[in-house]
Chains A and B, each alone.
Chain A
Amino acid sequence: MPDLLVVRELVTVLGRRQGLFRGKEVGVRAVDGVDLSIAAGEIVGLVGESGCGKSTLARTLLGVQREASGHIELDGRIVSGLGSAEARRVRRDIQYVHQDPGAALDPWWSIGRSLEEGLIIQGNRSTSDRAARIRRALSEVGLDPAVAGRYPHELSGGQLRRIGMARILVLEPRVVILDEPTAGLDLSVQATVLRLLRDLRGRLGLTYLFISHDLAVVRRLCDRVAIMYLGRIVETAPTVDLFEHPRHPYTRALLAASPRLESAMVGEIPVLGEPPRPSEIPSGCAFHPRCSHVGPECSRRVPDPEPVGDRHMVRCLRWRDLAA
């Protein structure tokens, strides 16, 4: 499969400004040199703790947040380096599903009207075509098209997730960014939402960037996983490989901490502390102050991405010592 979305050395800086009276603020490099490619039809999981830059990366890909430097290629076309309105227009093939679709819907608007809004913004002027697309999208996500006449408060959490998906399906995207699509759902509902996402990918040939901190869900759904820490992707690998042979100490720590049905009772684990503030990113490898395998060089040198196997990349100066 050819790569549908290619990101090279992407940098996004938040909060940089040069005021007339306040002087310069250098800002935070929330996305700090990210390389990531996603093949057509692939589901790539993006995992990391809060504040690691997952959402900023998503917003940059969407064109809502402007990149400071770097390169984004969508289906062979370069779509970076544009103003935000222009960027959003050329990136309409990338769509975003909000973490809580209930909160993203206007409570005073019928579901149909909310679904129609995106089409109107995209310049679809045919009422009958809009209605047909909405009917089709609602049945794609397993809902009765009559739901279009109902209001958000009448629907359950699981139904709202389906609406969130239908809302972007009407726009016929190719890449869908899913932001914690199962957060806050009950297990039984979560299972049906995951199944829907998987089925839609199969039927419509969608490509997903799946943002989550739930490793069990990521393991179940994703083809490949990227682990992000303080603005950088520290490891990527096919899902099975990543879970069976994690290389980066941070990935290992995440996997060890993640609750699983087979988890043993919490016992002695290396104390990790908490991630530093994004405004105080440590020098060298940003993970070094929390790392249990830290060496003297880790605070001085930023590790480069190194291949460790088939499509498996890690950014750690000491991964060879750890693997042994």
Chain B
Amino acid sequence: MSEALLRVSGLAISVAGDDGVAGILEHVDLAIPKGHIVGVVGESGCGKSTLVKAILGILPPRARVDAGTIVFDGRDLARLDEEAMQREIRGSAIGFIPQDPFLALNPVFRVGTQMLETMRWHAPPQWKGQHRQRLVQLLRAVQVPDPERALERYPHEFSGGQRQRLLIAAALSCQPRLLIADEPTTALDVTTQRQVLKLLRDLVAEFDLSMLFVTHDFGVVAQLCDSVSVIYAGQTVEAAPTRSLIDNPAHPYARLLLACHPDRAVDLAGIPGSVPSLIEPPSGCRFHPRCPIAVTACAVTRPPIVELAGAHAVACPRHELAFPGAGDA
């Protein structure tokens, strides 16, 4: 595997709230090799968004990084000061594609005005005077028809798919090396989604990018990602090349989750229990109260992530045990 552009190791983040301190992330590991698209999958509340915010350095004021590192291009973003984040990382070296193309553009300003504003803040100084021209080239790359005129139009004049293309162009506008996309296609129809996914794959190759793609849809992961990480309640439980994880999930949570997918689900049983409170999270492996093969040891210490064959890594020493409901053949 090539060298990782971004490597998150043992990241732990807690947020102080009114009801106590919530350990949103307990131990997250993630590596994005250069040129790869890595999917992060988990259910609501698992910490996906917190992970993204931590990488972008936009954690809420009450959040604290308790442990771990976020190494991007040799620098630890978890410890970089805000000024450097703002000047050198966010919006420039790391571009962000938001979830909802209908909310992310300001309806009262022309598209061009908004996109040029980003460039004014984050583009390298030697680009002075070329912003508009570069933007037009980018809009052409993301296949927005008639780019010159598109810049003069308002967001409502574009369809959902077109708006998502504009936002992708905005994320690319300052020559990032890493793109982070947070469920960028959930608001789109399947045919449009397919086209946007294709576009993202092409752009990653064309612009020599790497990408972190947050989603809850394993079908989208199958269409887009080279590898995928599964997070449960703030713990990375499994990471593997996409086909390997979807075809042979190892961690009991990943097995149960994939067994809930309508393409697989035999009896639509769901996963017993519910996602735990992060204020008083379960000890050890956070999945143990819901796990059909848990033993006492699982509640004592968090199992380390161990690499199996074929770059498939799992945080469960008992992953070889069969159990009913996991969709095992």
Contacts and interface: CB of A to CB of B under 8 A. Distances in A.
B198 interface: yes
Contacts of A90: none
Q: Chain B interface: which size bin?
A: 35 or more
B269 A191 contact: yes
A187 B216 contact: yes
A219 interface: yes
Given A188-B43, A272-B195, A260 B263 contact: yes
A218 to B, nearest CB: 9
A265 B261 contact: no
Interface stretch (A112-120, A121-129, A192-200, A292-300): A192-200
B309 to A, nearest CB: 21
Main secondary structure of the interface of B (DSSP, over half): helix
Interface stretch (B1-9, B85-93, B184-192): B184-192
A215 interface: yes
A310 B43 CA distance: 41
Contacts of A265: 201, 222-224
Interface residues of A, number: 41
Nearest to B221: A259
Interface in A208-252: 213-217, 219-221
A254 B223 contact: no
Nearest to B43: A186
Interface stretch (B21-29, B129-137, B252-260): B252-260
Interface in B241-273: 246, 256-258, 260-265, 267-271
Interface in A104-156: 156
A192 B246 contact: no
Nearest to A259: B219
Contacts, number: 118
Contacts of B43: 186-189
A266 B224 contact: yes
Interface string B142-183: 000000000000000001111000000000000000000000
B268 A274 contact: no
A36 interface: no
B325 to A, nearest CB: 11
Contact of A261 (B192, B216, B219): B219
B71 interface: no
Contacts of A256: 194
B5 to A, nearest CB: 20
Contacts of B189: 49-50, 213, 275
B44 interface: yes
Interface in B263-304: 263-265, 267-271, 274
A214 B192 CA distance: 14
Contacts of B159: 274
Interface of A: 49-50, 156-157, 186-192, 194-195, 198, 213-217, 219-221, 253-254, 256-267, 269, 271-272, 274-275
Interface of B: 43-44, 159-162, 189-195, 197-198, 201, 216-220, 222-224, 246, 256-258, 260-265, 267-271, 274
29 contacts: A49-B189, A157-B44, A186-B44, A186-B216, A187-B43, A187-B216, A191-B270, A192-B269, A216-B263, A219-B262, A220-B263, A220-B265, A253-B191, A256-B194, A257-B190, A257-B194, A259-B217, A259-B219, A261-B219, A261-B258, A264-B222, A265-B222, A266-B194, A266-B197, A266-B201, A267-B198, A269-B194, A274-B161, A274-B162
